[in-house]
Amino acid sequence: MFKLEMVSAVVLLSTVVGGASAAGSAAPSRTHYTTQSADHKELIDGWKRELKDNGFIRVGEYDSVVSHMEAMDIKMGGSIPLKEALSKLSFVPVSTGGFSGLEYHGHRLGRSSGSSTDNVFTRYYRSKDIGFVKLVETSFPEWDPRLFVGDFVNSKVGNLDSLYMVVRGPTGFSIATLSWVSGGRMFQLTVSSREVHLDSLKTKIFNLAESL
């Protein structure tokens, strides 16, 4: 069973398959890349079939609850003051006025690979209707190849291409992820819920995204 990171990370769909060779080792052959690309395509095609047939991708219990655990951790552990967090960010995050009906739980700073400054801002909320809501906003230079939703475009946020995916575990926990790019920002909106109707979940997550 694949890990949640494989499901929710848009990086998987937008980076070069195979990665860079280790220092001192021989560069991967064309055959290596071809094989890895074939495996990558097979994995994505399998996800697409599951989403079309079931509306979600089946995963193990851990993969379906890990986002819930992250949300509880931020709620229990707290955050540094928001003003302090914003002063450390390398960009001004988008306004979340459309999230006003949600309970704010906290935030975290982070850095994407290769960044020397804090360029990732994650905000955590709770919705009475759909569960935990997480908004991750990452600022990249506009030429950065990671500003690409990937091969799995299956929806729109406004007029922007987006990737929408739902994973569900055996006890009804689910994680819906919506990812899109706007300007020099990559956005990822995640909703962690249990036994919420899939159509209702989809409507609410897209409404939140389009409020930004």
What are 171-204's pLDDT values in tens digits? 888 899 999 999 889 999 999 988 788 899 999 9
- Between 179 and 40, the more confident residue is 179
Average pLDDT over residues 45-71: 78
Domains of the chain: 4-14+55-210 (3.40.1000)
- pLDDT score for 205: 95
Q: Strands 173-182, 185-194: parallel, antiparallel or unpaired by DSSP?
A: antiparallel
Amino acid identity at 120: V
Token reading at 167: 């994973």
pTM (2 d.p.): 0.77
- pLDDT by residue (tens digit) across 105-151? 999 999 988 888 899 999 999 999 899 999 999 998 888 887 776 66
Q: Which two tokens stand for residue 206?
A: 């897209």
Structure tokens at 171: 């006890």
